[in-house]
Amino acid sequence: MRRFITLISLFILSTSILAGEITPLGPERSLELRQKLIVLMKKNKKTLYYKEARLHLFNEIYAYYKEGSENNFIRDIYCEVEYQNNVDIFMDNDDLPDGNVLNTEHTWPKSRFFDYGPQVPHHQNTYDEMVSDMHHLYPTDSLVNQKRGDHFFGEVDQENKGQLCEASKMGQNSKYPQVQFFEPPDEVKGDIARGLFYFAVMYELPIDDREEEFLRAWDKLDPVSSFEKFRNEMVEKYQGNRNPFIDYPELIKLIPNL
């Protein structure tokens, strides 16, 4: 990890940080940075079985205990509902919660795994690698997960009422009235953004410009938390790689467009 930071730091030092602020790199340098990041992110990356990835996610990252309770709890990120194990859901170290209640959200939708840009070789990444990549997986309310589908993330100012739970919104933004956006709670907006930055660079996939505008704003609005750092450590423990946009949030400013 130290080497990773050193390489990135040198890259940044050699560019714009000396001028006092970080400015986006030009197209060639940006591509060079992305290639360096891919090498580092793939170096120790293991492809987990999908079930294995979900077991780690639910049982070892998101489950928590409270004083006075024998059972552990888990909270979904879209509705912020807390479920008590052995009461609301049944989950142990060999099992997952009832998929009709809580399931696994791929913030990068599976339907867009192969939406490659024009210059990207198609053979490098596989469905199995992407589907089990823990950096973009989250526990969510199953119904809201289904409704989000592959809608872009974004700020909603004209909500379709009654669509979802209180904490999340689905609807339009007056700037892009033709798009149906999904807006998660503020608490996870930055987490989702940084997970998608990772996914776009790692698998050489484009992010829609309208969605990217919101994600970049969310990255600032909801900075890296201690939980996110813990999550990054745990993902590294199981699948061997880290999300550099959590370790080094300034990195995104160097990349002009994903």
- Residues of this chain that bind Ca ion (CB under 5 A): 190-191, 222, 225
Shortest distance (Å) from residue 11 CB to Ca ion: 26
Q: How far apart are CA 167 and CA 75, in angstroms?
A: 12
The smaller minimum CB distance to Ca ion, of residues 186 and 250, is found at 186
The smaller minimum CB distance to Ca ion, of residues 11 and 153, is found at 153
Instruction: Kindly state the greatest CA–CA separation across the chain.
Output: 57
The smaller minimum CB distance to Ca ion, of residues 154 and 190, is found at 190
- Reference 142, options 164, 124, 169, 161; nearest CA is 164
Bridge partners (DSSP) listed for residue 85: 89
φ, ψ for residue 8 (rounded to 5)?
-65, -40
Shortest distance (Å) from residue 41 CB to Ca ion: 21
The smaller minimum CB distance to Ca ion, of residues 25 and 188, is found at 188
Shortest distance (Å) from residue 141 CB to Ca ion: 18
**3-class DSSP state for residue 175?**
coil
| Residue facing Ca ion at closest CB distance | 222
- Reference 4, options 52, 35, 29, 39; nearest CA is 39
The smaller minimum CB distance to Ca ion, of residues 178 and 226, is found at 226
For residues 202 and 41, the answer to whether their CB atoms sit within 8 Å is: yes
The smaller minimum CB distance to Ca ion, of residues 36 and 216, is found at 216
Q: How far apart are CA 74 and CA 85, in angstroms?
A: 8
Shortest distance (Å) from residue 116 CB to Ca ion: 29
Shortest distance (Å) from residue 225 CB to Ca ion: 5
Shortest distance (Å) from residue 191 CB to Ca ion: 5
- Which parts of 44-140 fold into alpha helices (H)? 50-55, 127-131
Shortest distance (Å) from residue 188 CB to Ca ion: 5
Sheet with strand 72-75: strands edge to edge: 64-65, 72-75, 82-84
The smaller minimum CB distance to Ca ion, of residues 188 and 202, is found at 188
Work out the number of other CB atoms within 10 angstroms of the CB of residue 136.
21
For residues 229 and 246, the answer to whether their CB atoms sit within 8 Å is: yes
